[in-house]
Amino acid sequence: MRSFQPHLFVILGASGDLTSRKLAPALFHLMERHNELRCCHILGVARSDMSDAAFRDSVRDALHERHPEGSDLSAWCDDHVFYQSLGGGSGYDGLARRIASIEKECGLPGNRVFYLALPPKTFPGTIEALGQANLHETPGWARLVIEKPFGHDLTSAHALNDLVHRYFSESQIFRIDHYLGKETVQNLLVFRFGNALFESVWHRGQIERVDIQVHEDLGVETRAGYYDQSGALRDMVQNHITQLLSLVAMEAPARFDADSIRQEKIKVLESIVPLRPEDVLLGQYAAGEVDGEPVRAYREETGVPDGSTTETFVRLRMEIANWRWRGVPFTLETGKRMPEKRTRIAIRFQPAPVSLFRPYEDTCNVRPNILEITLQPDEGFNLHFDVKQPRMPLRLTPRRLRFRYDEVFGDLPEAYETLLGDVIQGDQTLFVHADEVINSWRLYTPVLEASLPVHPYAPGSTGPNSAS
């Protein structure tokens, strides 16, 4: 039985916006739903000099947004939230002393979560410093949470894994991919393995192709410093979209637990045929207009270096060479400045082997059945099929069966809420295993190193022309 045990939740990089935007709201929301989680204590850590009181106020702001009228958790912050600066010379030894003193003062058993809410380039130095200060050695449990991207290619991902494993075992490491925390993504396994009807047609004999699309209408916004070093392949494909692919394509696990599920996902990645340059199309948004408003080109965005060739669009086609999928094309597509924000998976089934309605050709084309899974927004499913239009001479018309989450369940929880709850309870099912990261980088690193051409596309379009 999983439970919330008393612990210290240490946020490294606590002055950044991840803490106020995601972590603090998610922790508060969890505490509102699970009273027993109020045994948690939070320690913010950053370089800047700040008092406990000032940090508490910044954390309370996140609470205030949810409850402008006030919340009893506001008082809770007074004796559960602390701040430690890494500046002023004491560094990680000072942090170790502070952690020991908070644990003693608050009667904590030494259970610790270290959450790296930091720029990726600082991961290695921070992990090394935590290890050198022996912060991972504790009478309770210690868990390390790392945001994506985990490495920037195969070599760096190996090096980062080696470093982390020097101080933490794999069962203590929680590599975050926030897509795995989305309800609609978790539902992929329930949908497949809880409904025998769909699983019985989920293979090359019945499926013609699978398309996974993650479109965003926004541009790079204020994140050019990070994004230009990363690009869509590293930012979206290597992690989020590859996770979606693994969940759609994996075999049924022996048990519904972290090890069994992650082993099946790894096997999918191991079966993907190496990508060739002709399987990949890269693009970058040019200047143009969206809804009548002028939109800057990616290269003109603040912070993007002149002449940058970083891709903001990727479309690639791959094949999974295993018994279930051989010969079925999977296309993965993502882009910024697309017509709308939409994440969807389309499963297109094989057409009927014979068209009975061929004599009436122009009105009786048989369309393939498509299962469209919308992960966001308008979360839900559409199953498309044809019906006979009543009364007409024989005519087929497309219709759909439709399910929408919001009509049944209301608002869905934020991904971070689910993921933080799982970290605190020690459940790794929704986190990425070292071998998943390595296999994913093994697949995409040759593409990253191939210097493929990057084609311009108009903002508000669906990518470079050749994408069609």
Contact 217, 339 (CB under 8 A): yes
- Helix, strand, or coil here: 278? helix
Closer residue to ligand BG6 in complex, CB, 8/241: 241
d(C-alpha 424, C-alpha 26), whole Å: 12
Q: How far is the CB of 235 from ligand BG6 (least distance, A)?
A: 5
- Helix, strand, or coil here: 315? strand
Which residues lie across from 288 on neighbouring strands? 295
Buried b (16+ CB within 10 A) or exposed e, 99-112: beebbeeeebebbb
Mark residues 215-244: x for contact with ligand BG6 by CB under 6 A, - for none.
-x------------------x---------
Which residues lie across from 72 on neighbouring strands? none
- CA atoms in the 13 A half-sphere facing the CB of 19: 26
Q: How far is the CB of 343 from ligand BG6 (least distance, A)?
A: 6
Closer residue to ligand BG6 in complex, CB, 216/333: 216
Closer residue to ligand BG6 in complex, CB, 81/233: 233
Q: Cα dist. 461→63, 216, 308 in Å?
A: 39, 11, 20
The residues in 177-216 that bind ligand BG6, with binding defined as CB under 6 A, are: 216
Closer residue to ligand BG6 in complex, CB, 41/215: 215
- Exposed, middle or buried: residue 121 (CB in 10 Å: 0-12, 13-18, 19+)? exposed
Structure tokens at 295: 């939109």
The residues in 241-260 that bind ligand BG6, with binding defined as CB under 6 A, are: none
Q: Does the protein bind ligand BG6 through residue 333 (CB under 6 A)?
A: no
d(C-alpha 450, C-alpha 452), whole Å: 5
Structure tokens at 202: 């989920």
Count, residues near ligand BG6 per rule CB under 6 A: 3
Closer residue to ligand BG6 in complex, CB, 160/236: 236
d(C-alpha 153, C-alpha 238), whole Å: 10
Closest residue to ligand BG6: CB criterion = 235
Contact 298, 304 (CB under 8 A): yes
Closer residue to ligand BG6 in complex, CB, 243/343: 343
Catalytic residue among 152, 240, 384, 433: 240
Q: How far is the CB of 258 from ligand BG6 (least distance, A)?
A: 22
User: Who's near 106: CB < 8 A, 6+ residues apart?
Assistant: 41, 79, 80
Q: How far is the CB of 331 from ligand BG6 (least distance, A)?
A: 18
- Helix, strand, or coil here: 349? strand
The residues in 335-374 that bind ligand BG6, with binding defined as CB under 6 A, are: 343
Q: How far is the CB of 196 from ligand BG6 (least distance, A)?
A: 31
Is residue 240 among the annotated active site residues?
yes
Closer residue to ligand BG6 in complex, CB, 216/436: 216
Q: How far is the CB of 18 from ligand BG6 (least distance, A)?
A: 11
- Cα angle value 300/301/306 (rounded, 5°): 45
Q: How far is the CB of 434 from ligand BG6 (least distance, A)?
A: 20
Instruction: Supply the residues annotated as catalytic.
Output: 240
Question: Which residues bind to ligand BG6, rule: CB under 6 A?
Answer: 216, 235, 343
